[in-house]
Amino acid sequence: MTSTNKKKAVVLLSGGIDSSTTLAIAKAEGFDCYALSFDYAQRHRRELESAKKVARALGVKKHLIISFDLREIGGSALTDQQISVPKDRAPEADNLIPVTYVPARNTIFLSFALSWAEVLQAENIFIGANQVDYSGYPDCRPEYLKAFEQMANLATKVSVEGRIHFQIRAPLINLTKAEIIKKGLSLGLDYSLTWSCYDPTSEGKPCLSCDSCRFRLKGFEEAGAKDPLLGV
């Protein structure tokens, strides 16, 4: 199949383990990938450098970074300096949605992805959402993603004209972090390019105690692999 005959996919890419693995999966499925990242004034903006590296390494057709300032809306430890990024959360807190939740973030991200997918006529939109080793965010659940897909197909010119039926693809939805990492490693993904830490003060080194670092640590441990970010 030549490149011009390949189907296109828009892939949300934050630069973390999940979205980078999702991009590797979309590529392995044979899609021409269009990676979409967001500079939303997240305090851990370092992840965008990782997104650029991963996009380049995986040979995406285009990498678009859209900028807007979610600090104006607020309500999250990831954008508001007044709210601390939690460290070493107690296990019993795992049932609560933490302060790192960003209000309606995946809805905003998927909406831009839908807009680009319509222009590209890309039927598949990939997102690295998963509901196993995650932080309990409501917009990572399959019922949410299904509802977004239904809305998307009523929202756009290409779908109401019957030319495209959008699919929101979340290949990691039921995988543990260890399974995700094994999958990525089997596809040759270099996790040294990725970044997970939420802590804006961690310079170059992950803090190892925020939720995101802890899921990553546990994932590599359970996968029986070594996190290349942690050095020798």
Q: Specify the amino acid at residue 164.
A: I
25 scored as a contact of a second copy (CB under 8 A) = no
Pick one of 6, 30, 150, 188: the residue that binds a second copy (CB under 8 A): 150
Pick one of 33, 122, 152, 170: the residue that binds a second copy (CB under 8 A): 152
229 scored as a contact of a second copy (CB under 8 A) = no
For residues 169 and 127, the answer to whether their CB atoms sit within 8 Å is yes
* Distance, C-alpha 160 to centroid of its chain: 28
**CB of residue 77 to a second copy, shortest distance in Å:** 13
**CB of residue 79 to a second copy, shortest distance in Å:** 10
156 scored as a contact of a second copy (CB under 8 A) = yes
Residue 91 and residue 127: Cα distance in Å, rounded? 27
Pick one of 28, 41, 86, 111: the residue that binds a second copy (CB under 8 A): 111
123 scored as a contact of a second copy (CB under 8 A) = no
Question: Where does the chain have alpha helices with state H?
Answer: 17-28, 47-57, 105-120, 142-155, 157-160, 177-186, 211-223
For residues 193 and 23, the answer to whether their CB atoms sit within 8 Å is no
Residues numbered 62 to 101 that lie near a second copy (CB under 8 A) are: 64, 66-70, 72-75, 97, 101
